[in-house]
């Protein structure tokens, strides 16, 4: 009865770590990445849409992002949306067909700020893992009260969940270390 509960925690924890890994892609490094523009929303034809729905986004080189709208009349709206997104800190330039953004090199101070925000994302992921463990343990204790599980089953669940947590924490630490090195790289 307890084994399926514990086994069901694994995919939930994997989902939390996968979300964390996706979140890391949006953190700015010194290199251009199309993931930087993932959060940009553009109002075109009276509907707010993600930038990728109205334009192709690519990186022609390591320091440039190019946005080519499907409809050229959307160019000023896209340019404005990118410029107004303060978190990006990018200054787009429009040549009539394509919007180009040069990614300036990060200062040492800005790199340290980004690494600090990385720490916040790591903590959010760890909290998500703990919440999964907490939910499973509560369910195990509920089963124990209902006499559907023994106290040994609850101890087993706790031990197994702690092993899973440790395993996923190591993954998080590896991802964090790799991203910190990438951010601090000049």
Would you kindly state where each structural domain of the chain is located, as residue ranges? 2-26+107-184, 34-102
pLDDT in tens, 84-140: 876 677 788 888 889 998 887 778 888 888 888 888 889 999 999 999 999 999 998
CB-based contacts of 67: which residues, under 8 Å, 6+ apart? 37, 51, 55, 56, 57, 78, 82, 92, 98, 99, 100, 101
pLDDT of residue 133: 93
pLDDT of residue 108: 84
Residues 174 and 13: their CA atoms lie apart, in Å, by 16
Decide: helix, strand or coil at residue 180: helix
Binning pLDDT at 50, 70 and 90, where does residue 165 land? very high
pLDDT in tens, 31-83: 777 888 888 889 888 889 998 889 999 988 888 899 999 988 889 998 888 88
**Identical topology for domains 2-26+107-184 and 34-102:** no
| Number of residues written out for the chain | 186
Binning pLDDT at 50, 70 and 90, where does residue 169 land? very high
Give the Å distances, CA to CA, from 73 to 14, 69, 95, 103, 180: 42, 8, 13, 25, 40
34-102 has which fold? Gyrase A; domain 2 (3.30.1360)
Task: Please determine, looking at this structure, whether the domain spanning 2-26+107-184 carries the CATH number 3.40.50.720.
Answer: no
pLDDT of residue 39: 80
User: What pTM was computed for the model?
Assistant: 0.71
More confident residue, 13 or 107: 13
């Amino acid at each position: 009865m307890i084994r399926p509960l514990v086994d069901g925690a694994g995919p939930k924890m994997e989902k939390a770590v996968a979300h964390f890994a996706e979140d890391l892609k949006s953190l700015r490094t010194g290199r251009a990445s199309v993931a930087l523009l993932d959060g940009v929303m553009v109002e075109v034809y009276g509907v707010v849409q993600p930038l990728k729905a109205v334009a192709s986004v690519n990186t022609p080189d390591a320091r440039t992002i190019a946005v080519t709208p499907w409809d050229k009349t959307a160019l000023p709206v896209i340019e404005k949306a990118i410029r107004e997104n303060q978190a990006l800190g990018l200054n787009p330039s429009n040549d009539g067909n394509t919007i180009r953004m040069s990614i300036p090199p990060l200062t040492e101070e800005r790199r340290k700020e980004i690494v600090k925000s990385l720490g916040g994302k790591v903590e959010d992921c760890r909290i998500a893992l703990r919440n999964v463990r907490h939910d499973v343990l509560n369910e195990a204790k509920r089963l124990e009260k209902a006499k559907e599980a023994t106290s040994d089953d609850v101890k087993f669940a706790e031990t197994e969940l702690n092993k899973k947590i440790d395993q996923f924490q190591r993954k998080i630490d590896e991802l964090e270390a790799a991203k910190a090195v990438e951010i601090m790289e000049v």
